[in-house]
């Protein structure tokens, strides 16, 4: 397509793939251009209408004065979509392109179908390296930082294995307009999307490089943790994982964008409908447990009471025989033994009469003795 005029500014845009296919928009990293996606484009263009563009300040797009902001770069992407008549797109952005994707997810989510955020971050923990790089480019131009950046973007093993790929990226860095690079560095340095990204509600895949010093895996995992349902994958690569692990990167992106199962898994309405069922199930189980406990308690109560009653019955049983035996004895005494009982009672009465007689005699004897002594 070439140059796309938007107002008084122009952007370099290329469109490939079937016209009736879903649209996939690719956004480049800081210091590169749309050709950084060359390893992925042939495969992606078979399934998608691929839209690539040079970000503001890069490649053959406008390089206006800075500083830029991530919001400004994201509005450029929306303007390109509007100019092409694209209501909604899938998004694939790496590094700065991933930062633009985060802004779109948070502020224009209705324009994004799914998003892949590769080797990126929601904020830059330290502004000093960015200030130093800006000063270096201002003083000596892009050629002065190209090799340093390349060493951070590719592992030593890959630089030795595929020098041609490394050189193509180094050339992109050297030919990036100084003014555009400096302005975009300020946008990356000043960005902080840690809170706004939490509002993203579209399916997201976060890709990281295990050996990436520019945006380490810890920063990528923070993004994945902040977006509900986000998927995460990590490759053995440095910053430009789409080039160092081109085949694995392309496969992961394709699987994420085309897999119906993954799409269903991240749909929030479906999850919301299932959630109440799970809660009710928990409540029911809790109710059953409570009912079981109550019934168990009721059953346990009679069992506890039973021993007491048994003990009472036993005690009663022990006393009862004694009473019965007493009755039997009394029953035996009645009848023939009545006369013997009568004789005993007469004898007792006689003994009782004699006992009082003896007691006065002793008292009388004592009184007599006392009288004798007094005399």
What pLDDT does residue 90 have? 98
* 75 lies in some domain: yes
What pLDDT does residue 260 have? 84
* 227 lies in some domain: yes
* 372 lies in some domain: no
The token pair at 181 is: 């690079």
Separation between Cα atoms, residue 94 and residue 75, nearest integer Å:
17
* 221 lies in some domain: yes
Q: Which residue has the tokens 């009672």?
A: 345
pLDDT averages per 10-residue partition of the chain, 375 residues: 93 97 98 98 98 98 96 98 98 98 98 98 96 97 97 98 98 98 98 98 98 98 97 98 98 95 43 40 38 41 40 38 37 39 42 42 41 39
Of 8, 83, 9, residue with least CA distance to 51: 83
| Angle separating helix axes 70-84 and 178-190, nearest 10 degrees | 110
Structural domain boundaries enclosing 105: 2-266
What pLDDT does residue 1 have? 75
**What torsion do the CA atoms of 125, 129, 131, 133 make, to the nearest 10 degrees?**
-140
How many beta carbons lie within 10 A of that of residue 105, not counting itself? 24
* 85 lies in some domain: yes
* 291 lies in some domain: no
* 333 lies in some domain: no
* 244 lies in some domain: yes
Q: Strand ranges (DSSP E) for the chain?
A: 2-6, 9-16, 23-27, 49-53, 89-94, 112-118, 204-209, 231-235
User: Number of structural domains, the chain?
Assistant: 1
- CATH classification of the domain holding 244: 3.40.50.1820
């Amino acid at each position: 397509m070439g140059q796309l005029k938007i107002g008084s500014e122009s952007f370099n845009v290329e469109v490939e793939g079937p016209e009736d296919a879903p649209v996939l928009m690719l956004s480049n990293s800081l210091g590169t251009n749309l050709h950084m996606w060359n390893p992925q484009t042939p495969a992606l263009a078979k399934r998608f209408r691929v839209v690539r563009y040079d970000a503001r300040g890069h490649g053959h797009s406008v390089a206006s004065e800075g500083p830029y902001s991530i919001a400004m770069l994201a509005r450029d992407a929306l303007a390109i979509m509007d100019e092409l008549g694209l209501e909604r797109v899938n998004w694939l952005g790496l590094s700065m392109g991933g930062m633009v994707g985060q802004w779109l997810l948070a502020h224009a989510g209705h324009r994004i179908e799914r998003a892949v955020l590769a080797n990126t971050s929601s904020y830059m923990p330290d502004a000093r390296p960015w200030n130093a790089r800006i000063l270096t480019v201002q003083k000596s131009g892009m050629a002065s930082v190209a090799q340093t950046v390349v060493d951070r973007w590719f592992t030593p093993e890959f630089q030795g294995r595929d020098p041609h790929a490394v050189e193509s990226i180094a050339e992109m860095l050297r030919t990036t307009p100084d003014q555009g690079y400096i302005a975009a560095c300020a946008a990356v340095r000043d960005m902080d999307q840690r809170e706004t990204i939490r509002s993203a509600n579209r399916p997201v895949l976060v890709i990281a490089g295990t050996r990436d010093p520019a945006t380490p895996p810890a920063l990528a995992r923070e993004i994945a943790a902040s977006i509900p349902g986000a998927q995460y994958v990590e490759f053995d690569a440095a910053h430009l994982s789409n080039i160092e692990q081109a085949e694995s990167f392309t496969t992961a992106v394709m699987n994420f964008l085309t897999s119906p199962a993954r799409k269903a898994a991240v749909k929030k309405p479906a999850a919301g409908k299932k959630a109440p069922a799970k809660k009710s199930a928990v409540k029911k189980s809790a109710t059953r447990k409570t009912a079981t406990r109550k019934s168990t308690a009721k059953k346990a109560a009679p069992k506890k009471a039973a021993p007491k009653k048994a003990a009472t019955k036993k005690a009663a049983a022990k006393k009862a025989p004694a009473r019965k035996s007493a009755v039997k004895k009394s029953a035996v005494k009645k009848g023939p033994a009545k006369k013997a009982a009568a004789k005993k009672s007469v004898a007792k009465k006689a003994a009782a009469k004699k006992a009082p007689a003896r007691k006065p005699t002793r008292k009388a004897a004592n009184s007599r003795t006392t009288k004798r002594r007094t005399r």
